[in-house]
Every structure is written in C-alpha cells, then in structure tokens.
Amino acid sequence: MSARPQETRLDLYPSRRGAKPCSIERQDPVVHSAHRQGAPLPPQQICDYERNGFLILEQLFDARELELLQEEAAKLRAASGQIDATLAVAEPGDSSLRSVFHVHEISPLLRRIAHDARLVDLAEYILGDRVYVHQSRLNYKPGLSGKEFYWHSDFETWHVEDGMPRMRALSVSISLVENTALNGPLMLIPGSHRRYLSCVGETPEEHFRQSLRKQEYGVPDPEALTAFADDGGITAATGPAGTVALFDCNTMHGSNGNITPYPRSNLFIVYNSVSNTVEAPFGPTEPRPEFLAERSDFEHVKAISGPIRSV
C-alpha cells in the first residue's frame, strides 16, 4: 500500500504541533452500523457504548477457555527470554516483564481468540466493516512492582505515530485474572471519546522504544483531563477473570500501579476497519514497527464460531 504524500493529506486530528494543547470535536461516528435484527448486542448496550465510549461484558468465555488463556499467558511470560527482544517490554526501572506484543502471531491459541466470532462480530458491527488485527499484546502488571499506564487516547498515538486516518478502531481487553479496584485495573473516562485532545511536544524519533515503558508524549494536559473526569467521572473495569472491556480508540484510559501482592494481567486485541488502514504517520517521518501497527502483511479477520478447547 502506497501512502499519499503527507503534505497533500487532510489531517482532521492534528497533534504535537502547536504550542498549547487544544480540544477538537470528534469528526467520526462511534457506532457505524444501524440497529438490526440479530445484532450481536441489544440496543441498550449499543447506546451505552456510543454514549460512554466503552462497554464492560462478563461471561463471554467459559471456564475451560479462561484456563487455556491463563496457561498461555504464563507460558509466554516464562519464555519471554526466547521471544524477540523488541516484542518483550520490561517495566521502567527494572527487568520485570511489562508487555509482550504481536501475541496473535506468536501464539496459535491467541490467534484463535483474535478470530473468535464473539469478539469479531462485535467489532465488525460497531465499526460497520470487516476488520483486521491492528495490534495485540499481553500486559502483565506483576504484584508489588507493576507500574502505571498513564492516561492517554490510543488514537492520538496511532494517528500521529502510525498514520491511522480516522477513528474507526476499537480495543478488546480480556482480564486473565480478577481485576479489582486495588490491583491497577483499566480505568476509563465515560464520554471522553467525543473530544480529541491535541497534545504538545514534537515526537522524538523512535519514541516507541521509551513510550512502551513510560509514555511522555501524546499524554493529556492536566486541565483537559480534569475537565473530562469532572464531566464523565471515572469507571474502573473491574470483574472476575474473563471480563471483557470493549472501548473506542479515542476513549481516555489508563491504570494505576499495582502495589498489592496480586498480579493483574490482561490480553488486548485491537481491531481496525479495513477501510481505515494506516498510511504514513501524521507526525514523525518514520512509522513505528509493524508489531505496533500492522500495515502491510494482513488480511481481514475470518470469524470462527464455537468454544475454544485447544489449538
């Protein structure tokens, strides 16, 4: 896929260019499909997603499926030394494993989960299109030492650093252990997806090498973040293992550090519309690696139905 020259493109969501942060009204729909008979979600839940920018679901997966996911996450963690070093990211300040990326290509089981009809049907309905996996990762937040993920909109980074043109993507987060209010759960700000925060600070080259451990560019200014939280509040995506948080690409989210003895680990799968494939970045001249933003070697996800027992 050849990218159009950057100077000829219309950038609806400029960021990291101005001297001051600013808030821009969203230019894209949140839900791209009209309600229909047989939709994967009832009308009220679709309205909730459109209003809040996220939806929290339970009991999508059965006990055996969760057990397989937990075993796979533990296996990848134990084998992190054998994984390509660019895909295994350590916590800032120590060598504890923070994240493993591109897991749908590393693990046949996690590839099967990414193709599961229970997730794909939701993504295709909300995005109104066929989808592909833009990014996948396992986030490990070990007990006592797991560091925070500061507040951010994924789309801001995906747009500026990866070249995602429009807000037509979403994330699925599957909790692999119980996420409580104490062990650093995913937190989301309802309604924040309706405004785009244009941030300050020119992006350094190869910024991803630092930002995967601790993000310092593309983060919201305190005043705008406070206004978002004052307007919408903050929701913690707590729940038992298997809880699924489905959230829009522009929803402001983050998580606290984990100083409890109890680890928190989540599987993330990002689905992007095939009509919204990434181009040249809107910020730095060089795009981030493809394990962060699939741009050439992909095909649309073919949904697979039925319970997962083994791969």
306 domain residue, yes or no: no
Nearest to 3 by CA among 285, 198, 290: 285
DSSP element (H, E) containing 267:
strand 264-273
Nearest to 224 by CA among 202, 196, 186, 264: 196
Q: How many CB atoms lie within 10 A of CB 249?
A: 27
153 domain residue, yes or no: yes
What is the distance between the alpha carbons of residues 151 and 215, in angstroms, rounded to a whole number? 9
pLDDT, one tens digit for every residue, the chain (311 residues): 444 444 568 899 999 888 889 999 999 999 999 988 889 999 999 999 999 999 999 999 999 999 999 999 999 999 888 888 889 888 777 777 889 999 999 999 999 999 999 999 999 999 999 999 999 999 998 888 888 889 999 999 999 999 999 999 999 999 999 999 999 999 999 999 999 999 987 776 655 555 444 556 678 899 999 999 999 999 999 999 999 999 999 999 999 999 999 999 999 999 999 999 999 999 877 888 999 999 987 789 999 999 998 87
Calculate the CA 126 to chain-centre distance.
15
Total number of domains in the chain: 1
> The pTM is what?
0.92
Q: What is the pLDDT of residue 200?
A: 86
22 domain residue, yes or no: no
Task: Find the domain containing 150 and state its range.
Answer: 42-276
296 domain residue, yes or no: no
3-state secondary structure 116-136: EHHHHHHHHHHHCCCEEEEEE
66 domain residue, yes or no: yes
182 domain residue, yes or no: yes
* Cβ burial, residue 297 (10 Å; 0-12/13-18/19+): exposed
Asked whether the beta carbons of 78 and 273 are under 8 A apart, the reply is no
Longest dimension (CA), the chain: 53
Q: How far is CA 163 from CA 9, 41, 271, in A?
A: 11, 30, 15
23 domain residue, yes or no: no
Helices (DSSP H) in the chain: which residue ranges? 43-52, 63-78, 103-106, 108-114, 117-127, 154-157, 208-211, 222-232
Asked whether the beta carbons of 162 and 15 are under 8 A apart, the reply is no
Any idea what the CATH number is for the domain that residue 235 is in? 2.60.120.620
Three-state SS at 8: helix
Token pair recorded at residue 62: 């059965």
Q: What is the pLDDT of residue 149?
A: 85
